Amino acid sequence: AGGPWEECFEAAVQLALRAGQIIRKALSEEKRVSTKTSAADLVTETDHVVEALILQELQTRFPSHRFIAEEAAAAGAKCVLTPSPTWIVDPIDGTCNFVHRFPTVAVSIGFAVNQELEFGVIYHCTEERLYTGRRGQGAFCNGQRLRVSGETDLSKALVLTEIGPRRDPATLKLFLSNMERLLHAGAHGVRVIGSSTLALCHLAAGTADAYYQFGLHCWDLAAATVIIREAGGIVMDTSGGPLDLMSCRVVAAGTREMAVLIAQALQTINYGRDDER
């Protein structure tokens, strides 16, 4: 193992574990909640505390690197992926779960160089599961190798999705109609667990067969994409084309056949782009 980004990977693991400890402790305490882009897009003091911890530490250790992070972006920082080594951070994925003490909450740290994802670290804070993937080196959960499901038949699939932040009638209609299309096609089930990154980790682990979403962000996707690819899975655009990290939409599956079937069934919900805000 090892490789040129070993020190960065080790730093990501250590920070995800430290952040997870803070989040676990804060989960049971009172929280001050604010809203961002919609009444369902939440942020707490802990999101800010954890993001500051991660960014300060990484900026000190790797001063020439660049950073994209959820709460910095919410405060107006631009999301641009340049060829420079770039960290892509979601301090708490599943903030709504966190607010309600629903124990499905993660820290996600992705790392890209030359616009290519090198590694991803996702820590399930309450179940203390550390998911990692490194380009060319496989994907693991607490040291156990991950492998996606080989299912190709939509009528035998367990599909995961997330609602996304918007609640206007037109968006909700499209969201529900997409779910309906998959259920009509015979999917065994469609689940919404409240964390894009942990849903994507289920896909990597083979405990779900497909995932799709409109309205997620590059910090929900970066780390998970490496983990899924290293577990043998497919991550693509909802059009069926290659993944675009900044496009706010994704289809992922254990097999290309399954990903294409899902992509074909979906109607597009246009959320704009992370790099055009």
Query: By C-beta, is 124 or 135 nearer to ligand IPD?
Result: 124
Element (H or E) spanning 127, and its range? none
Query: By C-beta, is 209 or 220 nearer to ligand IPD?
Result: 220
- Is 95 catalytic? The answer is yes
3 state SS for 187-235: CCEEECCCCHHHHHHHHHHCCCCEEEEECCCHHHHHHHHHHHHHCCCEE
Tokens at 266, concatenated: 């979906």
Instruction: Choose, from 44, 86, 95, 171, the residue flagged as catalytic.
Output: 95
Which of 94, 110, 120, 233 is the binder for ligand IPD (CB under 6 A)? 94
Tell me how far apart the alpha carbons of residues 216 and 225 are, in angstroms, rounded to a whole number: 13
* Nearest-approach distance from CB 92 to ligand IPD, in angstroms: 6
* x/- letters, 52..91, toward ligand IPD (CB under 6 A): ------------------x-------------------x-
Q: What is the DSSP letter of 37?
A: S
Q: Does 44 bind ligand IPD (CB under 6 A)?
A: no
* Nearest-approach distance from CB 98 to ligand IPD, in angstroms: 7
Contacts to ligand IPD from residues 175-234, by CB under 6 A:
194-196, 215-217, 220
Q: Could you tell me how far CA 57 lies from the centroid of its own chain?
A: 22
- Is 92 catalytic? The answer is yes
Tell me how far apart the alpha carbons of residues 233 and 206 are, in angstroms, rounded to a whole number: 9
Count CA atoms within 13 Å of residue 121 on its CB side.
Answer: 26
Q: Does 164 bind ligand IPD (CB under 6 A)?
A: yes
> What are the CA-CA distances from residue 136 to residues 68, 82, 118, 139, 229 (Å)?
24, 22, 9, 9, 9
Count of residues that interact with ligand IPD, criterion CB under 6 A? 16
Residue positions annotated with a catalytic role: 70, 90, 92-93, 95, 220
In the complex, which residues of this chain contact ligand IPD (CB under 6 A)? Answer: 70, 90, 92-95, 162-164, 194-196, 215-217, 220
